[in-house]
Amino acid sequence: MWFLGRSRTNKRACVKFPRTHVLALAIAASGCSGAVTADAVDDGEGGRGSGGQGGQQAAGGAGGADAPVVLSDLSTAPLAQMCSKGTWGPARLWRLSRDQLRNSLKDALAVDLTAAQLASFNDGAGLLFNNDAASLRIRKADAESWQLAAKDIAAAAVPSVKTANLCATLDAACAPMVVQFAANALFRRKLNDAEQARYQKLYTLTISASGGTGEKAAQAVLNAMLLSPYFLYRSELGTPVAGKTGVARLTPNETATALAFTLWQTGPDAELLQAAAAGKLNTSDDIKAQAERMMGDARFARFYVGMLADLSRASRIASREGADDVANAGTVMNTLSEEFQNYAGGLTKNGATFAQMLTNTSLSVANDTAKFRNLGTATGATMANVTLPSGLAGLLSLGAVNFANAGTDHPSPVKRGVMVRENFLCSPVPPPPPNIKQETVPRSADVVTNRDVYEKTMAPSTCNACHRLFNPMGYAFEAFDEQGRYRTMDNGAPVKLSGEIVDTRDANGMFSDLAGLAAQLSKSSQAQECFALNGFRFVSGRIETQGDLCHVNDIHAAWMAAKGDLKTLALLLVTSDAFVTRSTSL
Amino acid sequence: MNSILKTRRRFLRVAGAGALLAPFFDQLQSLAATNAVPHKVAFVFFPHGTPNTSGYWPGEGALGSLTGVLAPLQAHKGRMLIVGGLGAGLEKGYGHQGGNTAVLTGRGSSDKDGGFYIPRSPSADWLIARQLKQEPLVLGQKVSSGSRLLISWSEPKQTGAVTPTNDVGEAFKRVYGRSATAGTCTAGGGLSAPSPATMAGDVNVLDVVAEDLKALKAALPSFSRSTLDDQLDAISDLQTQAKAAASTPNAPTMSTGGGTSEGCYAAGTSDFYQRSNYMADLIVAAFQSGTRRVSVFQQGTASGDSFSVPGYGGYHGEVHNLSNGTVGDLTRVTKMQTEVFKDIGYFVDRLAATKDMAGAPLLGSTLVYICTEFSPYGESSDPHNTGSGLVVNLIGADDAFATTGKAISVKGSVGGVLRHAAKYMGVDVGAGLSADDIGKFEALPGIAK
């Protein structure tokens, strides 16, 4: 499942609530404003998820891994007022994510990676998305662990070489064909002469060694390619653009690779590689034609599954504090993961818009899952369309979203509210001030529900100055417990779902429940711009620069003209100049 | 469902263990380059001490027939120097755990993480290896409830000692850079060590990868040229490792006795001896490479766990009861320690029977340092109380000792022994450290050649 094996490398110790009866509270010491950098990220209960946003302007997000990262604040100004033309993302290598490694080996060589093999590499630790290029590096220990894994993977891939019928027999004469077959599968391109000679030499050395066979030679070639940076990284180095110093455009082959790993989360298929070889990926129209073809493929579902899983933080379901302590944790997480994938993966298939993504009132879900979530009574694996109870709607009602954004043993209006504010409104939330702790108000006759506890505990102005920005949105999620199960009562009292969106450009207002919150978001220009911006971040694997905001603004405008169609947004993102243009002189 | 959870936890644990993998055969001087057999040091340590009735300290003077727990080492007494009278290294105030244990294994106090002790100080292997500028393999073992053994090794470019693991398969990978071929658990079955030809194949693969890395790095813009450095570093180390293994003569035979396969261990065999011997085999295999090596081989727990060598249990409690005078079953304690020394004897025997790269016994270029706490106070005394003394048995190494075949008494601390070992390896272990880090490093008279 997509969530298994994901981990947050920047996870910090959480303040547990109410087990420890202590909350770290955010205090508006500076009016709840100010830049929030990667170092301020905190998974804790105290007012922030790990997707820290804030600050007025991106400052070098496109630069190297060491550049300070500051996210844009769309609550203060629209994209059009924040952008400044003239910059491009950096030429770079971009390591494949775990999902991409798994998908590409499965698709190209019919090899299923084990969890332990995938564990050789970390996922990215970006502020928002796990495909963050700056943090997707190969550490020394990763390389050594992968070296061991690659031997087994190469052995498992040999049957694919044999079934490709490259030669009558896998003998020395077959070296060129085996090497090129492996290069197409793993390097996603043809080799240059030096590379071809190098790998053919490895093949022939192996086959001529004592006990050597064609199979062992093929295995050695595959083994080396699996370890090679040409497999583990996507190249985005490009070639110089005439007349533009320091600017490069992705080569056709790099473009094919970028398209495949963006839209399908796997390597390019034969048609993409052929298009690249034939010079059919040089223009925006060429790319559009291929992208539209790819969007008709089932693998395109991975695009929004991946993006929305990180955006909603559902991808952190397994790493949530206390997740392991949930009864039948593995099954619960698998179940909720499948529900999420069905929903997110089905959006473009059904031609959904941004608004529909947030406000759909039905789910296609297995009966067992519906029963677990108190959304149905039937049992079994049969898929059924479930109409959500009144007051619930769309993506934010999914079990994985609510499970992942919960406290150790209770729902967390803070995490849920912060998730909405940061990731769906692109509005900054500063981290809790250090060394500020507030005793949790204990339950009593007047403090009955989880919401009561939060409201009473965070009532002091020092707390509420910041928590008012997100807690009231988080209360809309009180319809779900910490495992994502629907509920109407909490501790014997009815749950209260009403709340308010404040301090945004155009989403402000009261709502009565989660459906109301979703409806306000769906109509908000700020939320729509935020979604387009997050699409850009997901596609580029980095945080934006000022120059990027101009591209995002153009993309947003075109997307709105298409009435917020999700498939159109993906198409606009990959046909933008920003998708294929790089700076080589940062 | 719960099993899924357990599997996930195990997965995460394995993932953590995998992250610790590091090359073993390092970029040290090769035989060809120096025309000398690289030195090795093995620290063999068992905590909780031994009473004076065990025979561990035979008394000053020339060694006669070794009796008591030392009996398994009889064949090697000509190479032995037994040093008594040392301080236990309790300077850091952690009690007996903070003395020898901390110095030798990096473990101290009682902090635990997931049942494992958290290393709190540099360990002997690390201190030496750091000066060698290598990334050392630190094979060690710990016996805990159910006779499980824990293996520890240092992490790449480590900045401190690391948590041990009980995954012996990982230790094998650490030595060979590849998985063992699992054998059977029957007599004659066992691990299949990779042949030099196999390792030569690995060298060919790694050479190609290194070429790719260099070519791609050269194509990167200057601001991102460091992207591949860690991978280049890793591949370089792995090349060195594989080349060393490929050129190692006398590839070790892992199968002994009733069969010692990785599969058997993974299945959780309770055969203490198989596991212990397997660990010794791995260290011996590692020591055959053309590199200087240093390892720690720990034969017991620092505190808390039972030492249930088949037939006996509760080692830790039994040792403590000696100080209470309530049980005072020296016979049982001594028998358990006798079992420990059988394994130590096996290890030394293997070093003596295995040829080094020059065709001489490996023991001749290996300094084995056996250490525990020691009570000079008689049957009712706790051997690891704060007044304990220290005895070390130094074995092997043709050119390491001023004298052999005798027991001497010397005033000093464990740091002095460590200094001796470091000198044998050609480094100054105290460089960059304060004496407070691991005790005092004063020279011990009468030991070094």
- Between B8, B21, B235, which is nearest A141 by CB? B21
Cβ of B221 and A120 within 8 Å?
Answer: no
Check CB contact under 8 Å for A144 and B209: no
A73-87, A444-458, A472-486, B83-97: least confident range: B83-97
Q: Tell if the CB–CB gap between A330 and B12 is shorter than 8 Å.
A: no
Q: In terms of CA atoms, which chain A residue is nearest residue B19?
A: A141
Alpha carbon of A151: minimum distance to chain B alpha carbons (Å): 8
Q: How far apart are CA A254 and CA B219, in angstroms?
A: 14
Q: Give residue A216's pLDDT.
A: 95
Q: Which range among A392-396, A553-557, B400-404 shows the weakest confidence by mean pLDDT? A: B400-404
pLDDT in the model for residue A179? 98
CB atoms A330 and B215 under 8 Å: no
Q: Considering only CB atoms, which chain A residues are within 8 Å of B212?
A: 195, 198, 224, 228-230
**Residue to substitute from A3, A146, A147, interface B, most B β-carbons within 10 A:** A147
* pLDDT per residue as tens digits for the range A418-430: 999 999 999 988 8
Q: How far apart are CA A333 and CA B295, in angstroms?
A: 43
Report the distance separating Cα A61 and Cα A71, nearest Å.
8
Decide if B205 and A120 are in contact by the 8 Å CB cutoff.
Answer: no
Q: What is the model's pLDDT at position B151?
A: 42
* Phi, then psi, of A113 in degrees rounded to 5: -75, 145
- Rounded CA-CA distance A214/A192 in Å is 23
What percentage of chain A carries pLDDT values higher than 90?
A: 70
Asked whether residue A313 carries a pLDDT value surpassing 50, the answer given is yes
Residue A31: DSSP 8-state: S
CA distance A35 to B335: 67
pLDDT on residue B101:
54
Cβ separation of B220 and A211 shorter than 8 Å? no
Could you tell me if B303 and B316 are in contact, meaning their C-beta atoms sit under 8 angstroms apart?
yes
The residue that leads in pLDDT, B415 or A195, is A195
User: Which of B2, B6, B14, B21 would you mutate first to test chain A, the one with the most A CBs within 10 A?
Assistant: B21
Alpha-carbon distance values, A324 to A17, A318, A320 (Å): 16, 8, 8
Among B197, B221, B238, the residue with its CB nearest the CB of A144 is B238
Residues A98, A120: Cα–Cα separation, whole Å: 9
CB A332 within 8 A of CB A368: no
Q: How many CB atoms lie within 10 A of CB B43?
A: 28
Cβ distance of A141 and B20 shorter than 8 Å: yes
Confidence of residue A337 (pLDDT cuts 50, 70, 90): very high
Q: What percent of chain A is predicted at pLDDT more than 70?
A: 88
Averaged pLDDT score across all residues of chain A: 86
| CB within 8 Å: B208 and A202 | yes
Minimum distance, in Å, between the CA of residue A391 and any CA atom of chain B: 32
Nearest-CA distance A423 → chain B (Å): 28
Q: What is residue B122's predicted lDDT score, i.e. its pLDDT?
A: 56
Count the Cβ atoms, other than its own, within 10 Å of residue A57: 15
User: What span, in angstroms and rounded, lies between the C-alpha atoms of A353 and A564?
Assistant: 5
Q: Do A220 and B205 touch (CB under 8 A)?
A: yes
For A223, the closest of B155, B205, B231 (CB atoms) is B205
Decide: B127 and B433 in contact? Cβ < 8 Å.
yes
Instruction: Please report the pLDDT score of residue B188 as a whole number.
Output: 43
The minimal CB distance from A230 to the residues B179, B216, B235 is found for B216
Nearest CB to A199; choose among B9, B208, B233: B208
Q: What is the pLDDT of residues B160-173, one digit of tens each?
A: 444 444 556 666 66
Q: What is the SS3 assignment for chain B?
A: CHHHHHHHHHHHHHHHHHHCCCCCCCCCCCHHHHCCCCCEEEEEECCCCEEHHHCCCCCCEECCCCCHHHHHHHHHHHHCEEEEEEECCCCCCCHHHHCHHHHHHCEEEEEEECCEEEECCCCHHHHHHHHHCCCCCCCCCCECHHHCECECCCCCCCCCCCCCECCHHHHHHHHHCCCCECCCCCCCCECECCCHHHHHHHHHHHHHHHHHHHHHHHHCCHHHHHHHHHHHHHHHHHHHHHHHHHCCCCCCCCCCCCCECHHHHHCCCCCHHHHHHHHHHHHHHHHCCCCCEEEEEECCCCCCCCCCCCCCCCHHHHHHHHHHCCCCCHHHHHHHHHHHHHHHHHHHHHHHHCECCCCCEHHHHEEEEEEEEEECCCCCCCCCCCCCEEEEEEEECCCCECCCCEEEEEEEEHHHHHHHHHHHHCCCCCCCCCHHHHCCCCCCCCCEC
CB within 8 Å: A586 and B228 = no
Q: What are the distances in angstroms from CA A220 to CA A226, A231, B175, B204, B235?
A: 10, 15, 21, 9, 16
Indicate the SS3 state at residue A489.
strand
HSE-CB for A571 with a 13 A CA cutoff: 20
Residue A532 has pLDDT above 50, yes or no: yes
The residue of chain B nearest to residue A247, with distances taken between CA atoms, is B221
Q: Chain B residue closest to A134 (CA)?
A: B227
Which residues in chain A are closer than 8 Å to B173, comparing Cβ atoms? 148
Q: Which of A144, A202, A210 sits opposite B204 (nearest CB)?
A: A202
User: Is residue A92 helix, strand or coil?
Assistant: strand
Strand A383-387 with B50-51, pairing: unpaired
Choice between B62 and A42, residue whose per-residue pLDDT is larger: B62
Which of the two residues, B420 and B288, has the higher pLDDT score?
B420
Between B34 and A123, name the one with better pLDDT. Answer: A123
Closest chain B residue to A211 measured between Cα atoms? B197
**B228 contacts A93? CB cut-off 8 A:** yes
pLDDT digits (tens, 9 = 90+) for B88-139: 544 443 445 544 555 565 544 444 333 333 344 556 666 676 666 554 444 4
Verify whether the Cβ–Cβ distance A147 to B216 is below 8 Å: no
Q: What are phi and psi of B290, to 5 degrees?
A: -85, 45
H or E element, residue A355: helix A354-359
| Phi, psi (rounded to 5 degrees) for B26 | -100, 180
B197/A210 touch (CB, cutoff 8 Å), yes or no: yes
Q: How confident is the model at residue A557 (pLDDT cuts 50, 70, 90)?
A: very high
| Chain B neighbors of A195, CB-CB under 8 A | 212, 215
Are B201 and A220 inside 8 Å of each other by CB? yes
CB distance A334–B219 less than 8 Å?
no
Give the minimum alpha-carbon distance from A137 to chain B in angstroms, rounded to a whole number: 7
Burial of A461 (0-12, 13-18, 19+ CB in 10 A): exposed
Residue B99 CA, chain-centre distance (Å), reads: 17
- A584 CB neighbours in chain B (<8 A) are 221
Q: Which residues of chain A does B237 touch, with a Cβ-Cβ cutoff of 8 Å?
A: 140, 144
Residue-level pLDDT at B200: 85
Distance from CA of B353 to the nearest CA of A (A): 29
* Least confident residue range of A137-146, A374-383, B145-154, B192-201: B145-154
- What are phi and psi for residue B373, nearest 5 degrees? -75, 160
Query: pLDDT by residue (tens digit) across A124-147?
Result: 776 788 898 988 988 877 887 788
Residue A530 has pLDDT above 90, yes or no: yes
Q: pLDDT tens for residues A281-311? A: 999 999 999 999 999 999 999 999 999 999 9
**Mean pLDDT, range B31-59, rounded to an integer:** 69
Helix (H), strand (E) counts: chain A: 25, 14
B352-408 residue pLDDT tens: 988 777 778 889 999 988 877 655 444 344 444 444 455 677 777 778 888 889 888
Determine if residue A142 is left, alpha or beta; phi over 0 gives left, psi from -120 to 50 gives alpha, anything else beta: alpha
The average confidence (pLDDT) of chain B is: 63
Helix, coil or strand: residue A203? helix
Minimum-distance CB partner of B18 among A119, A230, A318: A119
Contact flag A329-B197 (C-beta cutoff 8 Å): no
Q: A520: which 2 tokens?
A: 């306000």
> Of the given ranges (A575-579, B148-152, B204-208, B382-386), which has the lowest mean pLDDT?
B148-152
Q: List the single best residue of B25, B211, B212 to mutate versus A (max A Cβ within 10 A).
A: B212
**Which of the 8 DSSP states describes residue A13?**
P
At A438 the pLDDT is 72
The residue ranking higher by pLDDT, A529 or B354, is: A529
- Residue A240, pLDDT score: 95
For residue range A475-506, what is the model confidence (pLDDT) as tens digits? 999 999 999 999 999 999 999 999 999 999 99
Question: Which is more confident, B292 or B12?
Answer: B292
- Among the listed ranges A519-523, B200-204, B325-329, which one has the minimum average pLDDT value? B325-329
How many A/B residue pairs have CB atoms within 8 Å? Answer: 162
Distance between CA B235 and CA B27 in Å, rounded?
12
Query: Which ipTM value was assigned to this complex?
Result: 0.84
